[in-house]
């Protein structure tokens, strides 16, 4: 996680340059970067939709949806994300002609191409007066047709551009009040603290210790902060899937003994047993692969504190991403994850 001053700098730069041109791709890329740095998954959802062709979205829809749904409860997804998705279709609306499925960059390229074609349409020199009149009429009609083609594309781009401006202004306001992380992270943090206070007080104490040591900032404190994150993962695993000496069959059909030290596998098994009841094996595999990669990355970073010199940014990243992942796991175990609604839906063919 970068510092607050860096995020503020990116927002201010994006706003200062916003009116310099009609370009939408550039501010879109900046908004995506800002949302990513702030763990602003709600806004990152529609920002990525604007940046992708709808056909690409359909191809990647399941993975795309799962990636975001993991960070929300079912209620949050319905209240926050569903309206954002509907607003995306409203911005792309072509009235009775449906909606424009192209990415922002494709829309801008279409405008450039059509405008270039219009500019290239000129009346040849040396025509007789009558021929000149009729040829001019033909060219003007053709240009008017092209103008009519460009107009709805430009209207769509302008609606997107205005939404990007609103996002930047809202983000600037939040940062002005010291809110470096987006609302979704703050909600996740409160949810995790409340749940851990009930089921794993040791893990909550570990988070508090990690935050305190991260703020201290000296090399030894930073190292201990990472170690605290690793202990948090183990404490959560102990709470949601206690160690066992019995062999357990995982979602991949393999048997494992989930002992005390296998806390990463125990976290994955806890998720698998809740979500696996919905029967969509392919989707479950995608979910578990994502969790596995995130857990492996986090565990590796947290273990670095034992052996190496660590940086403050690494510690911030580890603490925040541990919070987010623990929140994802706890929502699943509590039956509150938006992932369940996705998996509970009837499977459809690609």
Instruction: Tell which residue, 337, 330, 225, 313, has the closest CA to residue 37.
Output: 313
Strand partners, 256: 248
Per-residue confidence (pLDDT) for residue 327, from 0 to 100: 92
37: CB partners within 8 A, 6+ apart: 1, 2, 6, 7, 10
Phi-psi region of 235 (alpha: psi -120 to 50; beta: other; left: phi over 0): alpha
Per-residue confidence (pLDDT) for residue 349, from 0 to 100: 38
Residue 307 CB-density burial (10 A; 0-12 exposed, 13-18 middle, 19+ buried) = exposed
From residue 257, give the alpha-carbon distance in Å to each of 247, 250, 262, 269, 323: 5, 10, 8, 11, 27
Cα 249 to chain centroid distance, Å, stands at 32
Per-residue confidence (pLDDT) for residue 121, from 0 to 100: 82
Per-residue confidence (pLDDT) for residue 344, from 0 to 100: 67
Contact 60, 96 (CB under 8 A): no
User: What ranges in the chain are assigned the alpha helix state H?
Assistant: 4-16, 25-37, 41-51, 54-59, 61-69, 74-76, 82-91, 104-120, 129-176, 183-199, 201-216, 219-240, 263-275, 281-307, 312-333, 338-344
d(CA 87, CA 66): 20
- DSSP 3-state of 38: coil
Residue 115 CB-density burial (10 A; 0-12 exposed, 13-18 middle, 19+ buried) = middle
Per-residue confidence (pLDDT) for residue 63, from 0 to 100: 65
Contact 337, 74 (CB under 8 A): yes
Contact 72, 81 (CB under 8 A): yes
Count CB neighbours of 135 within 10 A.
15
pTM as predicted: 0.83
Per-residue confidence (pLDDT) for residue 184, from 0 to 100: 83
Strand partners, 314: none
- The size of the chain, in residues, is 350
pLDDT in tens for each of the 350 residues of the chain?
445 678 899 999 999 999 888 899 999 999 999 999 898 999 999 999 999 887 776 666 566 677 888 899 999 999 999 999 999 999 999 888 888 999 999 999 999 998 888 888 888 888 888 877 777 888 888 888 888 889 899 999 999 999 999 999 999 999 888 777 788 888 888 999 999 999 999 889 988 888 888 888 788 888 888 888 888 999 999 999 999 999 998 878 888 899 999 998 999 999 988 888 765 666 677 788 888 888 888 888 877 755 567 788 888 888 888 899 999 999 999 888 988 876 666 554 33
Contact 215, 248 (CB under 8 A): no
């Amino acid at each position: 996680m970068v510092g607050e001053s860096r995020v503020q700098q990116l927002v201010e730069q994006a706003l200062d340059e916003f009116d310099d041109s009609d370009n939408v791709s550039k501010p879109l890329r900046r908004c995506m970067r800002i949302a990513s740095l702030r763990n602003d998954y709600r806004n990152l959802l529609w920002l990525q939709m604007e940046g992708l062709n709808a056909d690409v979205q359909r191809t990647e829809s399941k993975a795309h949806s799962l990636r975001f749904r993991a960070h929300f409860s079912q209620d949050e997804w319905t209240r926050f994300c569903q309206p954002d998705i509907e607003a995306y279709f409203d911005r792309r609306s072509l009235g009775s002609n449906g909606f424009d499925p192209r990415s922002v960059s494709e829309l801008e390229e279409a405008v450039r191409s059509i405008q270039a074609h219009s500019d290239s349409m000129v009346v040849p020199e040396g025509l007789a007066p009558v021929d000149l009149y009729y040829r001019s009429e033909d060219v003007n009609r053709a240009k008017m047709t092209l103008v009519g083609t460009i107009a709805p594309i430009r209207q769509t781009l302008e609606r997107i551009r205005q939404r990007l401006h609103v996002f930047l202004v809202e983000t600037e306001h939040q940062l002005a009040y010291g809110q470096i992380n987006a609302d979704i992270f703050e909600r996740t943090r409160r949810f995790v603290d409340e749940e851990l206070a009930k089921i794993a007080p040791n893990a909550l104490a570990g988070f508090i210790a990690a935050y305190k040591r991260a703020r201290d900032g000296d090399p030894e404190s930073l190292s201990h902060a990472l170690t605290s994150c690793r202990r948090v993962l183990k404490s959560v695993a102990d709470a949601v899937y206690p160690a066992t000496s019995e062999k357990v069959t995982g979602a991949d059909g393999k048997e494992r003994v989930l002992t005390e030290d296998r806390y990463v596998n125990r976290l994955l098994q806890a998720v698998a047993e809740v979500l696996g009841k919905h029967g969509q094996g392919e989707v479950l595999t995608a979910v578990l692969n994502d969790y596995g990669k995130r857990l492996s990355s986090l565990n590796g970073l947290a273990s670095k504190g034992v052996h190496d010199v660590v940086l403050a940014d690494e510690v911030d990243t580890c603490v925040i991403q541990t919070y987010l992942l623990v929140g994802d796991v706890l929502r699943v175990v509590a039956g509150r994850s938006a992932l369940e609604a996705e998996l509970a839906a009837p499977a459809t063919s690609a």
